[in-house]
């Protein structure tokens, strides 16, 4: 009986710790060939209500900007990663205007294909997410996107 009670306590403590881990951003990835020699990679963030992720263009002293690093492969990047027009507002926490996205945002990277398809585009992205009460530490995520 004592073992059952202790096991129950351990399960309750473990599940309450798990419930406190916040993951307000879900990333998804896709790619589309736009011609025989070019493609676009789509990196989509879907955010829980009330949370926002920052633009790639944040001034020094502000939050961590979203950034992308692409692993070299049989492709070349065509220009910088594109983003839609962000919301720009004064954030008291940082004491400055910052640009961010709510609900969802799709970043796009154009590629020049230099090898045969199908190929796989790999890399990492770093982002920071906040709501009106807190900011979570910056997180780095690896991604893999097939281009067919």
> pLDDT per residue over 123-139, tens digit each?
999 999 999 889 999 99
Residue 69 lies in a domain: yes
Residue 9 lies in a domain: no
Provide the pLDDT confidence category of residue 116 given band limits of 50, 70 and 90: confident
Residue 7 lies in a domain: no
Beta-carbon-side half-sphere exposure of residue 110 (alpha carbons within 13 Å):
10
Mean pLDDT of 104-120: 93
**Nearest partner of 81 among 117, 114, 108, judged by Cα:** 108
Q: Quote the pTM value.
A: 0.84
Q: How many domains does the chain have?
A: 1
Question: pLDDT for 43-91, tens place per residue?
Answer: 999 999 999 999 999 999 999 999 999 999 999 999 999 999 999 999 9
- CATH number at 121 reads 2.60.40.1250
**Nearest partner of 100 among 56, 48, 139, judged by Cα:** 56
Distances (CA, A) of 112 to 41, 44, 59, 77, 121: 11, 21, 30, 6, 12
Parent domain of 79: 23-147
């Amino acid at each position: 009986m004592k073992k059952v009670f202790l096991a129950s306590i351990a399960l309750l403590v473990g599940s309450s710790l798990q419930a406190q881990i916040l993951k307000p951003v879900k990333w998804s990835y896709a790619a589309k060939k736009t011609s025989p020699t070019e493609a676009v990679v789509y990196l989509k963030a879907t955010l829980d209500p009330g949370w926002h992720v920052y633009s790639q263009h944040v001034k020094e002293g502000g939050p961590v900007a979203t950034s992308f690093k692409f692993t070299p492969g049989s492709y070349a990047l065509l220009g910088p990663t594109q983003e839609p027009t962000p919301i720009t507002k004064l954030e008291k926490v940082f004491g400055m205007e910052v640009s961010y996205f709510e609900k969802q945002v799709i970043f796009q990277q154009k590629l020049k294909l230099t090898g045969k398809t199908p190929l796989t585009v790999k890399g990492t992205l770093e982002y920071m997410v906040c709501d009106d009460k807190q900011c979570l530490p910056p997180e780095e995520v690896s991604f893999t996107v097939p281009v067919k």
